[in-house]
């Protein structure tokens, strides 16, 4: 049989066509993989997508990805492909300076001796006023990928490295830094081969292109994640650190924060003569400005409640005046209830807020409140208060509009679903206000908060009267 013609024996036109076809195929593959990656909206999801796509590009079956930003600000995580949690723990027992992904995380390439970590870039904040340096930040040096063709014969490996490879059944690895000059080092990925192998030049080129794109995408998600964490921290600091203990009533609260952080809030504060003030509310807008407005509004309501809490209409009237004078461009909803647990008596008033829901063994019904506009939308706000007397063992649910809107239903349908959820609370759970709140949330929002819907927080405050 005649041998196939070599590239040198082929006509130039055929060679060009073959190369063009190969380039088009590679570009199509990269386009498909990056399209899938860009659809991920969480760090964990992006890491898993990147790990699976990288395995296909380098021709490996298993692998792991480590997120460990070089600035030390976190978050950190390790995920595996075809590796159990115990396998990841076993790999992490390899001395960091010997493992390929560990060397990449510490800024070492194949040419660097162990322990030769180099400070590639100025620390975070360098070059900014007040940080002791006026020099512009230098781009981070990106370490080279590390290929180990055969763990058994590779020189300079720690014996523990060979032992772990034999135990887990891999014979070679290819490690790629998740790093670019602009983003810095975010982590590393390593793919494991069952037999001695390494990716050829074409595969190295493809995984390099994909890795740079993945790193930039991870850097964007990292900033979003950190911003969300900061907003969540601020929101929690602005809300009560714990609920008060007042004889005759048991309290529980559930607060779910949206991606950008909204202005939903709650409060529960002891008042003179064994009374209790309960409040929920929502400030228009999202992000830091809404959180700041929410903090100011909640603090003001606490002050008004201490001075005249037995008159909820007066409390909300004062709050209306404050909002119009200090934040004329913002509106808010609020509900304040003055409770006397010993008498099982509640007097409440609401401003543009959804009515409370009473849940008990013999009834599940909304409290009839008068319709009123939100705070900040009228020249003068005032609406009559409503009084109710919960029976022993009944729970009163106060909630924000986010609970209804997060269902995705029209308002009347959302109210009907909320009523049905409260009615279906098992009798064994009705003695625990926390269990009541959890059941309602699980029933209305079985998947939690939809990350695609921005800005709608959920607050559910439950008060069970003994």
For residue 69, how many C-alpha atoms fall within 13 Å in the half-sphere facing its CB?
Answer: 20
Cα→Cα distances 354→107, 247, 336, 346, 439, Å? 56, 27, 12, 16, 19
**What is the pLDDT at residue 191?**
97
Q: Quote the pLDDT of residue 457.
A: 83
Q: How many Cβ atoms sit within 10 Å of the Cβ of residue 313?
A: 18
Predicted confidence at residue 93, as pLDDT, reads 93
Query: In this structure, what are the phi and psi dihedrals at residue 90, rounded to the nearest 5 degrees?
Result: -65, -40
Which string of DSSP letters, residue by residue, matches 73-101? ----EEEEES--HHHHHHHTTS-TTTSHH
| CA distance linking residue 341 with residue 347, whole number of Å | 11
Spatial neighbors of 412 by CB under 8 A, at least 6 apart, are none
Edge to edge, the sheet with strand 249-256 lists: 249-256, 458-465, 395-399, 357-359, 364-366
Q: Is the dihedral of CA 120, 126, 132, 134 positive or negative?
A: positive
The residues facing 187 across adjacent strands are 67, 178
CB atoms within 10 A of CB 357: 23
Residue 410's CB is within 10 A of a number of other CB atoms, namely 10
Query: Which superfamily is assigned to 240-465 in CATH?
Result: PPM-type phosphatase domain (3.60.40.10)
pLDDT at 12: 63
Closest C-alpha among 147, 137, 146 to residue 181: 137
Tokens read off for 77:
């995580």
CA atoms of 108 and 145, how far apart (whole Å): 10
**Helices (H), strands (E): how many in the chain?**
11, 15
Residue with token string 């887990």: 168
Position 6 scores a pLDDT of 53
Rounded (5°) CA angle 192-195-198: 65
pLDDT tens per residue, the chain (466 residues)? 445 555 555 566 666 776 777 787 888 999 999 999 999 989 999 999 999 999 999 999 999 999 999 999 999 999 999 999 999 999 999 998 888 888 898 875 444 333 333 344 444 334 333 444 444 445 567 889 999 999 999 988 999 999 999 999 999 999 999 999 888 899 999 999 999 999 999 999 999 999 999 999 999 999 988 887 777 777 777 778 789 999 999 999 998 876 666 688 899 999 999 999 999 998 887 777 778 888 888 999 999 999 998 999 999 989 988 888 888 888 889 999 999 999 999 999 998 889 999 999 999 999 987 767 888 776 555 678 899 999 999 999 999 988 998 888 999 999 999 999 999 999 999 999 999 999 999 999 988 776 555 557 899 999 999 9
Statement: 20-111+141-230 belongs to CATH 3.30.450.40: yes
Query: Cα-atom radius of gyration of the chain, to the nearest Å?
Result: 30
**Token output for 455:** 């800005």
Query: For position 112, what pLDDT does the model report?
Result: 39
pTM of the predicted model, to two decimals?
0.64
CA distance 232 to 234: 5
Confidence (pLDDT) at 260: 62
Give CA separation, 78 vs 47, 142, 179, 207, 220, in Å: 9, 21, 16, 20, 19
Domain ranges of the chain: 20-111+141-230, 240-465
């Amino acid at each position: 049989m005649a041998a196939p013609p070599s590239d040198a024996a082929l006509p130039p036109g055929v060679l060009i066509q073959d190369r063009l076809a190969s380039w088009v195929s590679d570009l199509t593959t990269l386009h498909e993989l990056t399209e899938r990656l860009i659809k991920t909206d969480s760090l964990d999801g992006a890491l898993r997508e990147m790990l699976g796509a990288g395995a296909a590009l380098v021709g490996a079956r298993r692998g792991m990805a480590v997120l460990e930003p070089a600035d030390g600000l976190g978050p950190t995580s390790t995920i595996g492909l075809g590796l159990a949690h115990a396998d990841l723990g076993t790999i992490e027992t390899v001395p960091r300076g010997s493992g390929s992904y560990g060397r990449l995380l510490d800024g070492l390439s194949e040419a660097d001796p162990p322990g030769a970590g180099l400070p590639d870039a100025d620390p975070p904040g360098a070059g900014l006023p007040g940080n002791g340096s006026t020099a512009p930040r230098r781009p981070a040096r990106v370490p080279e990928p590390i290929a180990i063709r055969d763990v058994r014969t590779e020189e300079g490996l720690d014996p523990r490295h060979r032992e772990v490879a034999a135990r887990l059944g891999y014979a070679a690895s290819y490690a790629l830094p998740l790093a670019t000059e602009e983003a810095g080092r975010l982590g590393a990925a390593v793919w494991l081969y069952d037999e001695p192998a390494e990716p050829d030049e074409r595969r190295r080129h493809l995984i390099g292109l994909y890795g740079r794109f993945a790193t930039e995408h991870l850097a964007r998600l990292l900033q979003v994640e950190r911003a969300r964490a900061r907003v969540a921290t601020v929101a929690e600091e602005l809300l009560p650190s714990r609920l008060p203990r007042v004889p005759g009533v048991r309290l529980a609260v559930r607060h779910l924060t949206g991606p950008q952080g909204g202005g939903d809030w709650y409060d529960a504060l002891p008042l003179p003569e064994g009374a209790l003030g309960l409040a929920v509310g929502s400030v228009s807008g999202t992000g830091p400005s809404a959180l700041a407005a929410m903090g100011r509004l909640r603090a003001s309501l606490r002050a008004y409640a201490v001075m005249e809490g037995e008159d909820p209409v007066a409390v909300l009237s004062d709050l209306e005046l404050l909002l119009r004078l200090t934040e004329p461009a913002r509106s808010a909803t609020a509900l304040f209830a003055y409770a006397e647990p010993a008498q099982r008596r509640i007097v409440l008033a609401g401003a543009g807020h959804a009515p409370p829901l009473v849940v008990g063994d013999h009834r599940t019904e909304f409290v009839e409140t008068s319709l009123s506009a939100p705070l900040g939308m009228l020249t003068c706000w005032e609406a009559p208060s409503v009084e109710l007397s919960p029976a022993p063992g009944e729970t009163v649910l106060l909630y924000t509009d986010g609970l209804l809107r997060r269902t995705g239903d029209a308002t009347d349908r959302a109210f009907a679903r909320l009523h049905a959820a409260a009615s279906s609370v098992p009798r064994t759970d009705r003695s625990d206000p926390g269990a009541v709140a959890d059941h309602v949330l699980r029933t209305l929002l079985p998947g939690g908060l939809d990350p695609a819907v921005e800005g709608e927080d959920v607050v559910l405050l439950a008060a069970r009267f003994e």
